[in-house]
Amino acid sequence: MIRRPPRSTRKESSAASDVYKRQELNPNIFPMRIALANRYFEEFNYSSALPHFMYVAQNSEDLELKSLALSQIGWMVHDSGDTATSLNYIEEALTISPDSLLAKTYFGIILIQQEETRNEGYEILSLLRTNPILSGDDLEIIEEILSIYEN
């Protein structure tokens, strides 16, 4: 006998499938593509997220979306262990959108983890900590990271 997943799982899978189908029919609706990519990203399904972020980074004229896509690509590359390449993506995101909280946060986190750039990363994250736009969850993550590296 085949067991069905719980209803909520079926509904979520169906919703994800609907978003994917709509995105396939409308590949240049970049916010929808970003939403789908972020869904995969949050599930750590980077192989599914990457093509969507790359598409936006290469094709969108919206600088905020392009910066977001480059930031997410940079973080995925960092997670794969390639710090130098990840910093290239994140620096490009900051070039496009210097005020991007996401790119600044990723940049600070990556720099603070490296002994030779720890002070720079600490300064970036300390400045971000005082930004009133930062969400409570992001502030909590930044404070946790800063507490690890405080002397």
Per-residue pLDDT reduced to its tens digit, 88-133? 999 999 999 999 999 999 999 999 999 999 999 999 999 999 999 9
pTM, rounded to two decimals: 0.83
Buried b / exposed e along 92-127 (16+ C-beta atoms within 10 A) = bbbebbeebebbbbbbbbbbbeeeebeeebbebbee
- Whole-angstrom Cα distance, residue 93 to residue 87? 10
* pLDDT digit string, tens, across residues 37-67: 999 999 999 999 999 999 999 999 999 999 9
Instruction: Name the residue among 73, 131, 76, 75 with its Cα closest to residue 101.
Output: 131
pLDDT at 14: 54
